């Protein structure tokens, strides 16, 4: 057996948090459109090529030393000497011609299963049968191996900016020294839920004075109705125990349309994103008779790294914002969201970067407490859900001549936080990934439909 590679404390906590219901893997769904001269046998040829690859390089060839004891304090990665490429790279098909709903159902099922920790914890599924000769790639990886966006960036090394480049090696066959991010893919240190969980575990309890900032938030929330304080979120069906069953839905919008409705009210692109999510949630929960009288609140990861910062290390903060789900008028809802995010951002003004990170860790603390067995339902949620907006590829990406149409992320529903919405930009579009507990939020796919109709309402207003 090869030399052991010890897990760092953060990676270990993602393993320790793994249960049948709380699965700590992340992923992405990427549909591709065929070139004019596409051959129908591409995926069969691709699988034949994959089977000829007998070697995988780190991190894709690493498995756990003690897979039956995930929370082993001495847990380590070791090389899988019996790496089976057929297990990790799979081919699936929808009843042709498959539509977006059927694709979402298949990905929901694939994402509802724990990874096999007796093997390197990742899978790639090539899904054929989509309308118009299209296919999709669904990728999932455990957060203890790599974070989701680093994994996707490494996966993107198998892709190209050129439609005529047809022989790029598969991602797992590339040595670490050969990997170059030629795709403009998402940076590793993106402002996401996972980055904030890392921050909270690293920063919580390290400052004696940052609690004053948290106390100021509670005090300010009383004086400014637009400012959301921790633990102000209402109890809802979102904030219950979760099952292992997942439901995934997607939606894509042109960036210009969202910018236009936000600009009309003096808001930002992210304010428009929150308005669409708030409208969709209000409608779905109303249909289920489960809409709280108080507005739902969202936690928003924010990047606090300056524009000229070269990167490296965590530089992520968090703010809380109202989704104004108690407001029926779409324009007034957007205005209230803008007021809420403006007040929240003002709270961070004047803090140092370290102060913002520690303050954000305290905001996240109740979410960490919800991972304690028996805590869900007894504690008031710190917020109702997480909504992340992550910058993605700015140039078109191709895979064996097929053009990537969209980039839909799948994050992690947590105990007590059964819905996560992540938005990734790609070219001139915003790609929404809605992932949640199917049992707590039946008909979750309606969120995607209602978000589109919410944008139409705002444009009409």
* Residue 206's CATH number: 3.30.559.30
Q: How confident is the model at residue 311 (pLDDT cuts 50, 70, 90)?
A: very low
Structure confidence at residue 199 (pLDDT): 59
Statement to judge: residues 169 and 206 lie in one domain: no
Structure confidence at residue 370 (pLDDT): 64
Q: How confident is the model at residue 332 (pLDDT cuts 50, 70, 90)?
A: very high
For residue 277, give the nearest of 405, 386, 414, 437 by alpha carbon.
386
Residue 172 · residue 52 · CB < 8 Å: no
pTM of the predicted model as reported, rounded to 2 decimal places: 0.86
Structure confidence at residue 53 (pLDDT): 73
Q: Is residue 338 one of the residues assigned to a domain?
A: yes
Q: How confident is the model at residue 275 (pLDDT cuts 50, 70, 90)?
A: very high
The answer to whether residue 113 is catalytic is no
Determine the Cα–Cα distance for residues 196 and 299; give it in Å rounded to an integer. Answer: 10
> Could you tell me the strand order of the sheet in which 385-390 lies?
246-254, 429-437, 419-426, 385-390, 297-303, 316-322
Structure confidence at residue 206 (pLDDT): 46
Q: Which of 124-138, 230-244, 276-290 has the lowest mean pLDDT?
A: 230-244
Residue 430 · residue 255 · CB < 8 Å: yes
Q: Is residue 186 one of the residues assigned to a domain?
A: no
Q: Is residue 337 one of the residues assigned to a domain?
A: yes
For residue 195, give the nearest of 401, 374, 331, 26 by alpha carbon.
26
Q: Summarize the confidence of residues 353-366 as an average pLDDT.
A: 72
Q: Is 423 exposed, middle or buried (0-12, 13-18, 19+ CB in 10 A)?
A: buried
* Residue bearing the bigger pLDDT, 70 or 364: 70
Q: Is residue 383 one of the residues assigned to a domain?
A: yes
Determine the Cα–Cα distance for residues 195 and 189; give it in Å rounded to an integer. Answer: 7
Structure confidence at residue 352 (pLDDT): 75
Q: Is residue 183 one of the residues assigned to a domain?
A: no
Of 127, 150, 178, at which residue does a domain stop? 178
For residue 383, give the nearest of 414, 428, 424 by alpha carbon.
414
Statement to judge: residues 158 and 205 lie in one domain: no
Determine the Cα–Cα distance for residues 196 and 302; give it in Å rounded to an integer. Answer: 9
Statement to judge: residues 172 and 219 lie in one domain: no
Structure confidence at residue 312 (pLDDT): 39
Determine the Cα–Cα distance for residues 239 and 366; give it in Å rounded to an integer. Answer: 12
- Model confidence pLDDT, tens digit, residues 399-449: 988 999 999 999 999 888 999 999 999 999 999 999 999 999 999 999 999
Residue 52 clears pLDDT 90, i.e. is over it: no
Q: How confident is the model at residue 135 (pLDDT cuts 50, 70, 90)?
A: very high
**Residue 348: Cβ within 10 Å count:** 18
Q: How confident is the model at residue 315 (pLDDT cuts 50, 70, 90)?
A: low
Statement to judge: residues 231 and 133 lie in one domain: no
Residue 347 · residue 360 · CB < 8 Å: no
Statement to judge: residues 289 and 365 lie in one domain: yes
Residue 253 clears pLDDT 90, i.e. is over it: yes
* Residue bearing the bigger pLDDT, 201 or 68: 68
Statement to judge: residues 174 and 222 lie in one domain: no
Structure confidence at residue 209 (pLDDT): 44
* Residue 51's CATH number: 3.30.559.10
Structure confidence at residue 400 (pLDDT): 87
Q: Is residue 385 one of the residues assigned to a domain?
A: yes
For residue 142, give the nearest of 30, 63, 29, 243 by alpha carbon.
63
Q: Is residue 330 one of the residues assigned to a domain?
A: yes
Statement to judge: residues 159 and 216 lie in one domain: no
> Which range of residues forms the domain containing residue 110?
5-178
Structure confidence at residue 155 (pLDDT): 72
First to last CA, the chain: 65
Q: How confident is the model at residue 5 (pLDDT cuts 50, 70, 90)?
A: confident
Domains in the chain: how many in total? 2
Residue 184 clears pLDDT 60, i.e. is over it: no
Of 131, 147, 178, at which residue does a domain stop? 178
How far does CA 320 lie from the centroid of its chain?
Answer: 18
Statement to judge: residues 203 and 348 lie in one domain: yes
Statement to judge: residues 159 and 14 lie in one domain: yes
Q: Is residue 141 one of the residues assigned to a domain?
A: yes
Average pLDDT, the chain: 83
Of 151, 178, 205, at which residue does a domain stop? 178
Q: What percent of the chain has pLDDT over 90?
A: 50
Statement to judge: residues 90 and 200 lie in one domain: no
Statement to judge: residues 67 and 213 lie in one domain: no
Statement to judge: residues 385 and 441 lie in one domain: yes
Catalytic residue among 118, 142, 143, 224: 143
Residue 314 clears pLDDT 50, i.e. is over it: no
Q: Which residues in 6-17 are b (16+ Cβ under 10 Å) and which e? A: ebeebbbbbbbb
Determine the Cα–Cα distance for residues 99 and 11; give it in Å rounded to an integer. Answer: 37
């Amino acid at each position: 057996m090869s030399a052991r590679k010890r897990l760092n404390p953060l990676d270990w906590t993602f393993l320790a948090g793994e249960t049948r219901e709380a699965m700590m893997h992340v992923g992405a769904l990427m549909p591709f459109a065929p070139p004019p001269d596409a051959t129908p046998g591409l995926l069969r040829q691709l699988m034949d090529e994959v089977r000829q690859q007998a070697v995988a390089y780190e991190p894709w060839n690493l498995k756990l030393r003690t897979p039956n004891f995930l929370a082993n304090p001495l847990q380590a990665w070791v090389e899988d000497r019996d790496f089976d490429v057929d297990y990790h790279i799979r081919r699936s098909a929808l009843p042709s011609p498959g539509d977006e709903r059927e694709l979402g159902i298949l990905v929901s099922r694939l994402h509802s299963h724990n990874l096999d920790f007796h093997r390197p914890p990742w899978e790639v599924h090539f899904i054929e049968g989509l309308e118009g000769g299209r296919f999709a790639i669904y990728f999932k990886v455990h957060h203890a191996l790599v974070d989701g966006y680093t994994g996707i960036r490494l996966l993107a090394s198998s892709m190209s900016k050129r439609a005529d480049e047809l022989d790029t090696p598969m991602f797992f066959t590339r040595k670490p020294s050969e990997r170059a991010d030629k795709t403009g893919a998402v940076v590793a240190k993106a402002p996401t839920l996972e980055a904030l969980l890392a921050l909270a575990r690293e920063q919580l309890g390290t400052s004696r004075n940052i609690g004053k900032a948290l106390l100021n938030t509670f005090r300010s929330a009383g004086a400014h109705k637009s400012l959301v304080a921790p633990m102000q979120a209402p109890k809802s069906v979102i904030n219950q125990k979760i099952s292992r069953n997942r439901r995934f839905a997607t939606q894509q919008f042109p960036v210009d349309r969202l910018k236009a409705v936000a600009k009309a009210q003096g808001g930002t692109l992210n304010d428009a994103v929150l308005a669409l999510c708030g409208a969709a949630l209000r409608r779905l929960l109303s249909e289920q008779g489960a809409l709280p009288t108080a507005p739902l609140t969202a936690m928003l990861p924010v990047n606090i790294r300056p524009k000229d910062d070269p990167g490296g290390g965590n530089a992520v903060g968090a703010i809380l914002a109202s989704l104004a789900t108690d407001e029926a008028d779409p324009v007034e809802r957007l205005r209230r969201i803008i007021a809420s995010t403006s007040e929240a951002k003002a709270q961070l003004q004047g803090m140092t970067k370290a102060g913002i990170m520690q303050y954000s860790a305290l905001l996240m603390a109740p979410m960490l407490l919800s991972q304690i067995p028996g805590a869900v339902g007894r504690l008031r949620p710190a917020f109702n859900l997480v909504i992340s907006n992550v910058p993605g590829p700015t140039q078109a990406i191709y895979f064996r001549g097929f053009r990537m149409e969209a980039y839909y992320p799948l994050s992690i529903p947590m105990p007590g936080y059964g819905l996560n919405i992540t938005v990734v930009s790609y070219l001139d579009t915003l790609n929404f990934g809605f992932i949640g507990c199917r049992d707590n939020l039946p008909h979750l796919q309606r969120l995607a439909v209602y978000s589109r109709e919410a944008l139409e309402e705002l444009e009409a207003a």
